[in-house]
Structure formats: structure tokens, C-alpha cells
Structure 1
Amino acid sequence: MITENTTQPITSRRSFLLTATQVVLGLGLVSAPTIACAKAIKKRSLSFVHTRTQQELTLVYASGSAYDRRALTKINRFLRDYNTGQVHVIDPKLLDILWAVKGEMGNKGVYEIVSGFRSPKTNRLLRQGHSGVATKSLHMQGKAVDIRFSGASLAQVRQCALEMQCGGVGYYPRDGFVHLDSGQFRTW
């Protein structure tokens, strides 16, 4: 499935990601371009600020195909349920999606976390007040985050994630966030 544009010079990170994706998907190695491209990079880092707790976190969470267990533990704690304090394992694929989106945004900015992991209790509370909260939300599995990115508009983050087609992309401009998850590609 390598298309003609793969013979043209790679002039941007987006060109590289698209070309690498076409090559990798053509070989049938993976289903998500961020995973393939992320594992080719030596060190991957993320920076967060939590809008509810005001805590900040910056760390390297992976190097090549190896994830740093200590860093993942810190991320799990950081993205805990803001209501109950419950900690849950966060899907590393979700982190790779965040890392790839950050790269597309020029690596300049910090993720502002609106919601990370949500316990069933918190999810039920949110469902009572908002019609858009899913009964079986991927937030409850540690596979979703609601974010803003300080280096780009919500529309830019949404567009970037849509172009990558890795996981779910929900757009909530009135509420001031974009939902990203590591499930199947879908949009709303």
C-alpha cells in the first residue's frame, strides 16, 4: 500500500508520519501509526498540568519500545480520578497518541488535563449532569483523556487527531476540551 507520494522528499513531521504509516500499514505490522512512529524515537516525554488539582508533571515516559515503569506509575497517579482519588493504569498507547499530537503541534505546549481516569462512581455523577457522558466510557478503563493543549487551539488539536486516525476524537468546544482515547478510530 505504498503510494506514489512516498518517493517524494519528506519535508515535515507530518510527511514522515504519513509515509511511515503507509509503509508500516502496507506491511501489516500495526494498526496505529503513532505506535509505529513513536517506538522509532529514542525518548518520548510529556508535560501536563491538571486543571482540577493544579498539579504539574513533566517526564520521559518511554525510550524506544520500552516504557519506564516509574514514569508510568507517576502518570497513573497524576491522571487519577479527580473526584475519588482512585488510581488506575493508563494505557501507554494513549500516551503515545498524546506524544504524537504534541509533535504535530510543534512540541511547544503543555497538556491541560480536564479529566483522565474516571471511576464508575464519578462517571455516574457526570452522566447525571451531562448527556454526552458514555455509560461505558473509556475513561473508566484508563484509555481516555479530556484535554486542551496550551500550544494550539482546540480546533487545531482536533484536526491533528482526526488526521492521525488513532483512537476516538471527541470535540467539545463549548466545554473547552478535546476527548482523545486509544479505542477504535471514531469521531463525534
Structure 2
Amino acid sequence: MPKVKNAGSGSALLTRRAAVFGLIAAPGVISAAPLFDTSSGLGMFSPASLNSRGEAGSLLNLYSDPEPDLAPQTRLNQKRVPSFKNLRPLRIALQNANTNETMRLDLLSQSKLSDAQVSQLNHFLRDWRQNEIKAIDGAVIEDLLEICEVFAPRGSGALRLRITSGYRSKATNDMLRRKSANVARRSLHVQGRAIDFSFPDVPISKTSRTAKKLCSGGVGTYRTFLHIDSGPRRSWGA
């Protein structure tokens, strides 16, 4: 089981917006170490890197996320639509690590996600195994976009964002639990409250540090991706 660390109420935590400003202003060049074995000559998104069922290799399987189970009595905030407003133009190139599906998200400075963009995101983050859509909690989408804003390149370039898992139906979660004891019975993915992701051009360690400063919920750090959710504020690693 992963070790879970709960944030104390008296901790001196940076506000989201203050952390964003500080991290954007910080100098330095992002140079990511390889996040996967390239000895086979296959890229992360190469069709040949997927097996015959369209599933990614072991490093990216959905059941590689040993998300700690919340207590049954845990009370969660009501889900809502995202209200994130970016500080500067934001261009994101999303890619699903399991299906190779792509999506482009472009936001002008000081703009919010349109209803059409929210619908696009919910479809992109669907349970691809069941082709089932569930609205993703706006709180976790806002956290993801704030993290993206920190690492997005200046100018016309787009930030590459790799999605490992979004919404997960109960049928999919039950199937994954039969394959691995690491899958949470009450996974927040099932409620549309969690997203697993990584930036191919940013080290996981750097993404993790940023997420822990900005995210209002849980942050799980793994070898090849990060889990964020809109549950209680806590962190763990595996």
C-alpha cells in the first residue's frame, strides 16, 4: 500500500494563484529524463507500443495506480463545472496514452473553458474501454489546467499533455480490481473526480512538486505519471 501523507490544517500553504506566479517567474530550462524505455525503438505514442487490444504496456496500464481508498464516510465537495481562468494564452496538445487519441485545447488570455471545450474534455477523458462518458469534476480540471499553465511554453508552442486515465466506470474498475489488488474499491476515477497524467517534456518529480503546491485534493506520484483528484488534500507515492 502507498504511504499517504495528509496536509495539516496549520501548514503554511501557498495560495494557488501565488504559487502559479512564483513558478512561472522561476528561471530554468525544463529538460526531462526519459520516462520510458526507448531501447525497443518505439515511442510512447507509437501504435506499435500498444498491444492487440489497444492497451498500453505495463507502465501505463490503468491498474498501475494504487490509489489509497478513502473511508466510506468521507464527505466530498459537490462536483461542479470548471471555472478556471488562465492568466496568459494556453495551448495544450493532449494525447491518450492508451488509445493514441489526440485533442487540442486553446485558450486565449483571461478566458474560460467554453461549454463546447468542457464537453470535448469530458469525451476525451471518458472510459475508453466502455466508451462511457461522465462529467469530470471542475475542481480537478482546474487543478490540471493550473499545472499546465506553469509548464506551458511561451509563444505559439503547445504543451504536450499525456492522459493515462480519466473517468473509469464501475465495470472497468471491477475488472481492474480482479487483475490487481492495488486498485481502490472506491476509486475517485469512478466518480469522475480523478485524472492521471504526465508531461513528456517535464520530469515527474518537477510536476509532482508543482502539483502538491497547487492542487486542492489528492496527489499521487508514480514512476511515469501523476494522479490528481478532488478528494481530501493528501499525497502519496508508489
TM-score (norm 2): 0.58
Asked if the contact 1:14–1:104 (Cα under 8 Å) also holds between the matched residues in 2, the reply is: no
- Which residue of 2 is the match for residue 90 of structure 1? 136
Are 1:76 and 2:84 matched, yes or no? Answer: no
- Which residue of 1 is the match for residue 207 of structure 2? 157
RMSD: 2.9
1:12-91 counterparts in 2 under 5 A? Answer: 13-14=21-22, 38-39=84-85, 41=87, 46-60=92-106, 66-91=112-137
Report the CA distance between 1:40 and its aligned residue.
6.4
> How many aligned residue pairs are there?
159
- Which residue of 1 is the match for residue 166 of structure 2? 116
- Which residue of 2 is the match for residue 139 of structure 1? 189
Report the CA distance between 1:41 and its aligned residue.
3.3
Q: 140, 146, 168: which one pairs with 1:100? A: 146
Report the CA distance between 1:99 and its aligned residue.
1.3
Pick the structure with more strand per residue: 1
Superposed CA deviations along residues 82-119 of structure 1, whole A, max 9, x for unmatched, are 21110111122222111111122244631111111100
Pick the structure with more helix per residue: 1
3-state SS of 1:81 partner: coil
- Which residue of 1 is the match for residue 220 of structure 2? 170
Query: Following the alignment from structure 2 to structure 1, what is the Cα–Cα distance between the partners of residues 222 and 180?
Result: 12
Query: Following the alignment from structure 1 to structure 2, what is the Cα–Cα distance between the partners of residues 81 and 109?
Result: 23
Report the CA distance between 1:64 and its aligned residue.
5.1
Ranges of 4+ aligned residues in structure 1 off by more than 6 Å: none
Asked if the contact 2:219–2:234 (Cα under 8 Å) also holds between the matched residues in 1, the reply is: yes
Report the CA distance between 1:58 and its aligned residue.
1.2
- Which residue of 2 is the match for residue 32 of structure 1? none
TM-score (norm 1): 0.72
Q: Please say which of residues 111-120 and 144-153 is displaced more in the overlay.
A: 144-153
What 5-or-longer segments of structure 2 have no aligned partner? Answer: 1-11, 13-17, 26-81
Asked if the contact 1:169–1:178 (Cα under 8 Å) also holds between the matched residues in 2, the reply is: yes
% same residue: 28
- Which residue of 1 is the match for residue 50 of structure 2? none
Query: Following the alignment from structure 1 to structure 2, what is the Cα–Cα distance between the partners of residues 104 and 121?
Result: 35
